[in-house]
Structure formats: structure tokens, C-alpha cells
Amino acid sequence: MNPIQSFLHSDISTSARLLIAVDVLCLLGIVAAVVAAFVRRSRAKRGLVGASFVTRLPIQFLTVALAVMVAVVAARWREVNHFPSQTMSEVLTMFSFALLGAMVVLHYALGLARRGGGWAILDDMLILLVFAGSFATHAWIRGLSTAQRDLPPALQSYWFPFHLTALIFSYATMAIAAFVCLLYFVTRFWSGVFLGGQSKKTQILTAAALILIPFVHIVTLPILALSGLVFWFVVKSGKMPHGAELEKLEKSFDDVSFRTFAVGFPFLTAGLWMGAFWAQEAWANYWGWDSKENSALITWLVYVLYIHLRMLGGYRGSKAMSVLVGGAASVFLTFQLFGYLPDSQKSLHRYTDDGVVPQEGQAGPAPAEEQARVEPAPKEAR
């Protein structure tokens, strides 16, 4: 069934219809971002400054897509009658919403488009990648179950929406930081291929890292291929930046990736703290060394390591951004691959897996009720 037939199908839910509308906006936004990047380049060659109608289109499509995603989340909330993050399809929908929202925030917070030149083109490329990421996420959602599931008692808490929102927004922001790093590495790779200036060993190692690193290659391979086509076209048209201009653009990636990280890291920290408070309320234990908790803690520690290496170790450029990519891989492991790990089968955090029945710790009695069940009854009551 193609998207148009799906949209017209009578049995499809309101949230699914709106999600298809977001897909259309994502495709239009991808085209607008590509056109805007070339228009910016052309205007810069002619000495023109400021934005035009065409260069404003990507952020306008992004804003409209975010508004429709708000409607998607609201519709799904109404359909399931609780905060929509119980199933994996709902969590991925929230991730797409957070990805679009994070890019809107970063567009204005970083002000890349206002800096002109390569910075504005970088902003267009980030918006393009966010559109592509949301579109791919929605394609993933359509292969998952969208059936309604009731919340187990452990999730029936006021911590639920705040904890999940903070973590998912941080994951989305860290994903955008990883996009910046990947753009840096593919820029270095293709500039070395077309312009020289890098050793063959460096090019081979960069290509191997982009292609062979587990899980990361799911994203890097399409980016590497598409960026290669862009570089080839720019070189053939004689508009390829050289020397100091290209070096300045590459150095800007480091600053942008750190600023993006700085937006997302506080939300990651807050999500972990709220999860600990929630665990105390649900299971009478702030930290149970559950495998999901450990995985999330490792992710947080990777980013703490990044801060120390950057601030104290003087890491910049490829070294610093390699650590950020490692953090994004850890996020992906925690967020999506966790359920496939052997130790996850006994985890209390497998709420989103289709077909998994909540364990005693997830749906069991409250701590006071559990204590009453375990302790022997008084003699006079026997």
C-alpha cells in the first residue's frame, strides 16, 4: 500500500494520517535544503548577504513539520489515553518529534544561518539530515505494532512523561551533534579525495571507520554516498572551496558539535536523575544496577569523558568528535539495541518490547503492599 492509499484508507488512525503528512513535509524539506544550500553558495559568489525567500524555506518546512508532529503526539495521546511512550512505535514517534524540535531550537540558539557562508550551508545540511532521520524513523515505525497497550503500575507515575521527554530530547540533540561530527569526517574524506592534502593511509582509515564501525555505518554509509555526489558536483561546477576557506569550514564543525552537545547534556543528566527518583517511588530503590540503568550510565560517562578530554586534555577536531560519535553509538545501543542484549531479558525496563509481559518488578505491588505480603501475620490474626 503506497502512502496515498494509506492516507485515504478508512481504518488508519488520526495519528498515522498526520504522520504521513509529516513525511511529505520531510521530503519537501530535503529538496528545499539542497536548493537553499546551492542558492547560498551562488549568492556568496556574487557578494550578496542576508537571507532570501528560498534560503528561508528549510526552517519554514521544519517549523511546520514540528507543528504537525505536535498534533501527531496529541492525537496518539488521545487514542491510547496516556502519555504515548509505552510501545516502541510510540517512543520512536516521540523521538522524531524531539529530533525536529531540537533542530528548531538549535537553529535559533546557534544562529548558524546568521553567520553566513559555510555556516549557513552547514545549517541547511543539518536540517536536511534531520528531515531524512525523521522520515527514516517513520518508515521504521510502520514495521512495528501500533496496537494500544495499557500502562503497567510502575509506569503510572507523574515521573513518566518528564523522565522520557528529557531523555528522548537529549538523545535527539546528541544525534544532531553526531550528524555534525559525521559531516566533518565526510568533508575531510572527500576533500582529500578531490583536492588532495591527506595521506592515503588517513583516507583509508577514515573510510574504514565510516563503513565498518558496528551500528554507526547504518547512518554513515548513506551520508558518505550522498556527500560524495555533492562533492563531485561541486568540483565539476568549479565551485569547490579551497585552502583557508575549506579549513575554516572544517574547524567550525568542532565548535558547532560542542555547542550542540552543551544543549543536550543537561537533559541527559536530568533524565537520569528523574529516573532514579522514579525508581525509588516505584521499586523503593534509587539504583538497582539494572542492565538498562548501567547502559544509560555508561552513555552519560562517555559524554563526561568528552567534557574532560576537551577541557583538560585539549582535544579538538577529529579527536574530540570521535568521542562524540562514540557517545552517539552508546545512545543507539541504550535506546534501540538494548533489547537484543542477553542481559536485557531479565531487565525491568523492557516496557516497549512487543509481546513482552511486564515482570513482577514492573507490574507488582507497591513496596508497602510487598512488605505486608512478605512479613508473617500477627499471632492474634492467625
Interval 120-152: pLDDT, tens: 878 888 899 899 999 999 998 888 887 777 777
* Residue 162 pLDDT exceeds 60: yes
* Residue 222 pLDDT exceeds 90: no
Split at pLDDT 50, 70, 90, the class of 206 is confident
Q: pLDDT value at position 123?
A: 85
Mean pLDDT is lowest, of 5-14, 104-113, 328-337, for 5-14
Measured from the Cβ of residue 324, the count of other Cβ atoms closer than 10 Å reads: 25
Q: Where are the domains of the chain?
A: 9-145
Distance CA 293, CA 298 (A): 9
User: What mean pLDDT do residues 97-112 have?
Assistant: 91
Measured from the Cβ of residue 289, the count of other Cβ atoms closer than 10 Å reads: 8
Which helix (H) or strand (E) segment is 150 a member of? none
User: What mean pLDDT do residues 289-311 have?
Assistant: 90
Split at pLDDT 50, 70, 90, the class of 168 is very high
pLDDT greater at residue 68 or residue 338: 68
All three cell numbers of 108: 535559533
User: What mean pLDDT do residues 291-314 have?
Assistant: 90
Q: Which residues contact 157 (CB under 8 A, 6 or more apart)?
A: 278, 281, 282
Whole-number Cα distances in Å, 154 to 287, 292, 348: 15, 16, 10
Split at pLDDT 50, 70, 90, the class of 373 is very low
pTM of the model: 0.82
In single-letter form, the type of residue at position 229 comes to L
Q: pLDDT value at position 49?
A: 65
